[in-house]
A = this chain, B = another copy of it.
Amino acid sequence: MTTQLLRVHNFMVSQDGFGAGENQSLEHPFGDAADPAALFSWAGATASWPMRTEPGGSRGLDDYFTRDWARNIGAEIMGRNKFGPQRGPWQDHDWRGWWGEQPPFRTPVFVMTHHPRPSFTLSDTTFHFVDADPATVLARAREAAQGKDVRLGGGAITIREFLDADLVDTLHVAVSPVNLGSGSRLWESPDELLDRFHRDVVPSPSGDVMHHLFWRR
């Protein structure tokens, strides 16, 4: 089979369905979310978390989720709000993402924005900026992925657009027991997707989150 899936991995939302709080900024990339650590701790404890900087870490169930993030991925698509805190026309081309000189993606990355800017490369990741609809961006990402799958990196608004266009094949969302009250909404309830997706729900052994695993019917 040579199908190129569009996959969402390790996307973290609050119990009430928000991927980030309001008022995202450089200092607060998850906005008013009171405690972003509550969304991320299950993943940060695993050996394969891409942003991990020290050795060690667990290799149990949660690590299956973090290590699947890079498996057979040839490109990523992300929304501009994941790429950085600026909104509107670029004021600062020196901003090259949150991830330093060695971004974890190691593939082409397509950043969706109404304000294109020149592509650039950091280590083995190249960022492209595209002003196009989801289906068009996905077609470009698939071509760049050279037969491998494409990861949809978020944030919530971007994932929502691809879900509404029925372009997502698999979706892993870790639902945290915190409530944010407002912010970027992924869904009102995960049950919204059951008309189009199968789902497994699995509690993290960390006790912090519920893993929701969706795949297309």
Binding site for B on A (CB under 8 A): 1, 55, 58-61, 63-65, 67-68, 71, 169-170, 198-200, 202, 205, 211, 213, 215-216
> Complex: how many Å from CA A58 to CA B169?
12
Q: Are A61 and B205 neighbours in the complex by a CB distance under 8 Å?
A: no
Q: Are B170 and A215 neighbours in the complex by a CB distance under 8 Å?
A: no
Q: Are B1 and A61 neighbours in the complex by a CB distance under 8 Å?
A: no
CB distance from A34 to the nearest CB of B (A): 29
Q: How many copies does the complex hold?
A: 2
Q: Are A215 and B68 neighbours in the complex by a CB distance under 8 Å?
A: no
23 contacts between A and B (CB under 8 A): A1-B55, A58-B198, A58-B215, A59-B198, A59-B213, A59-B215, A59-B216, A60-B199, A60-B200, A61-B200, A61-B202, A61-B211, A61-B213, A63-B215, A64-B64, A64-B65, A64-B68, A64-B213, A67-B68, A67-B71, A68-B71, A71-B71, A202-B202
Complex interface: chain B residues within 8 A of A59 (CB): 169-170, 198, 213, 215-216
> Complex: how many Å from CA A64 to CA B48?
14
For A211, give the chain B residue with the smallest CB separation: B61
> Complex: how many Å from CA A67 to CA B72?
10
> Complex: how many Å from CA A205 to CA B213?
11
Complex interface: chain B residues within 8 A of A67 (CB): 68, 71
CB distance from A209 to the nearest CB of B (A): 14
